[in-house]
A and B are shown apart, each in its own frame.
Chain A
Amino acid sequence: MWDNIAILTAAPVFNIQLLLDGLFIGATFALAAYGLALVWGVMNVKNLAQGDFVMMGGYIAWWLGTQGIHPLWGLPASIVIMFAFGWAVYVLMIRRVIDKDMFTSLLATFGLAIVLAQALNLMFGPEVQTAESDFPIRSYFDNAVTIADIKLVAFGLCGLLALAVVLFMKNSRMGQAIRATAQDARAARVMGIDTDRVYAFTYALNAAICGAAGALISMIWVIQPFYGISHSIRSFVIVTAAGFGNLPGVIMAGLGLGVMEQYGGFVLGAEYQQATVVALLLGVLVWRQIEMRRHRQVVQ
């Protein structure tokens, strides 16, 4: 472990590689987590199928790639397909869990996650896949730092998508309706907002965001039918750390998680890379609790 830290201090240039890799992948984490924050905040649905939506988006882009279409076209394709899919899932099951207790949505979406993962496995096989963008790869500092162009493109697209969603929430009628419903669903209903439609739209929007994140992940990382659960856990870590009303927080936490994973893997050894995510989750929960205790003591 100390040896590895020594490398970083002796040759700081490798920090750049770790940071960049972490930020590029963290951007897609942040995107998926933003979707979760949306459904959690607006509908109080804890969507454990989040990661499997991501994988579905990835497989759409990958499949287009195998058909000779550039996987970047998979981005709009998976947004459209996943939006429709999310709407269908809402109508079939989510509608019925919204007003149930909190655990219901967690378990129901977990059931959905199992079904989706296995369906992907039956359709596309269990192999690890990547969608090839065939963009060039650049190296800097005597090959110490390499950046694949597709990662830069994906990072930019993540930013654009996030911006689009923010503008949409601010300015469009539907966006305003969603925000109103999140604040007070009953009041919104009284004001003539069709909350059922708002919920359906929100859930579909979340699926579309996940689909977009997945399409990007298939190009810059790897996808596999059973990787969904780790993406779900990441989304939960990010939202738990940032809180769901807090978009800048979600973005920072997402990028931070990506970087932490890279550093965790580098310093402690790659076997701790995913353990880092879970450890962070527990750390965040414990820390929140200490905060809460302090708060309670103040109240007492």
Chain B
Amino acid sequence: MEKFNPKLHLPILVFGLAAPFVVPGLTIQVAVLWVMVLFALTWDVMGGQMGYNSLGNIFFFGAGMYICAIVQIAFITDVGAYTASNGGVRITFTHQEYFMGLICGIIAAAIGSALIAAALGWTVFGLRGPYFAIGTLGIALAAGELMGTWEWVGGGGGISMPVYPGSADGKAYLFYFLCFAAAVGTYLFCSWLYSTRFGLAINAIRDDEQKAEAMGVHTLRYKTIAWAVSAFFLGISGALFGNITGFIEPLEVAFPTVTFGIFMVAMSLLGGKGTLWGPVLGAFLFHFLKEFTWTYFLGWQWVALGVLIIVNVVFFQQGIMGWLMEKFPEKFGIVVEKKEAAE
């Protein structure tokens, strides 16, 4: 596990803790940045470290969002009646009801998503290469469509989330720090995970799955656990995001497969997949570029985004961290033999 490094970690911690007070206007955008960091990190557990490129991880984001919403509402009233009235039943949550609901909702979202991942793992992990990517994409797309036909959770009409009982600023701060904590938690967990035997095992699966299996690594078990880890944190992010948005709906908000679902891949690749810091760096850069183009090149933002993905994938596949490692291998503790270097 990475040791605390004041030069590296401190600025980020200070930035994270101070941002909502220094730039209160940007609170939500920075909160989304932390969610993006979480996205990139969780995608990389699978895509970077284990070599399984999923296009459907966003499924767990939506699953978490819905699980949390259902738990929060079920805490005080019947979910079917609440959604049927299209948010028309105005239920004012007391502080206690709201926070108990939220806490239970987040926990349920995390555990629920992880359990779903474990259950799906059996089916999905037989798929290799492009089939895995397409299969997971299919799961995310199917989930959005099926949720849209499930009347009990509001169908395509969606759910209006319970209203935060306190002040508007209080809500912004609460969810900002929850997002920040979730991102930091994900980072710390990944950092620890990669330092254990587990990290070695999933790296072995990436490098050569058959050999790993032949060496006695129980690959299916490792793969399923890795997916469940991704799902656990993604479930939390979904739970938080649903509450930030205030209104959830299956196709655009809960299962945004072609936006957030692809962003997480793009961010990981941009920063450099298979490294701990790559996804974080990629998320920062990507979010910044995205907000920039969204503001100043209205209408062309998607073109810019598409071109960024193409250029990144086609010409700069190693990502920023990969490029740094190539350029300054000695800084990463990679020893290049003199003889080889001399040639």
Contacts and interface: CB of A to CB of B under 8 A. Distances in A.
A115 B307 contact: yes
Q: Chain B at the A interface: mostly helix, strand, loop or mixed? A: helix
A233 B55 CA distance: 13
Given A111-B306, A271-B148, A278-B145, A93 B314 contact: yes
B115 interface: no
A8 to B, nearest CB: 21
The size bracket of the interface on B is 35 or more
A103 B138 contact: no
B133 A93 contact: no
Contacts of B262: 110
Interface of B: 53, 55, 123, 126-127, 129-131, 133-135, 137-139, 141-142, 145-146, 148-149, 258, 262, 265-266, 269, 299-300, 302-303, 305-310, 312-315, 317
Contact of B314 (A97, A274, A282, A289): A97
Nearest to B310: A111
B123 to A, nearest CB: 6
Interface of A: 46, 93, 96-97, 100, 102-104, 106-108, 110-119, 122, 229, 233, 236, 240, 269, 271-272, 274-275, 278-279, 281-282, 285-286, 288-289, 292-293
B142 A96 contact: no
Given A114-B309, A229-B258, A271-B149, A107 B138 contact: no
Given A118-B302, A118-B306, A285-B127, A97 B142 contact: no
A289 B123 CA distance: 8
A288 B302 CA distance: 36
A286 B139 CA distance: 12
Contacts of B135: 281-282, 285
Given A107-B269, A115-B302, A46 B130 contact: yes
Nearest to A239: B134
Contacts of A122: 299-300, 303
B306 A103 contact: no
Contacts of B265: 107
7 contacts: A106-B133, A114-B258, A122-B299, A122-B300, A282-B142, A285-B123, A289-B127
A248 to B, nearest CB: 22
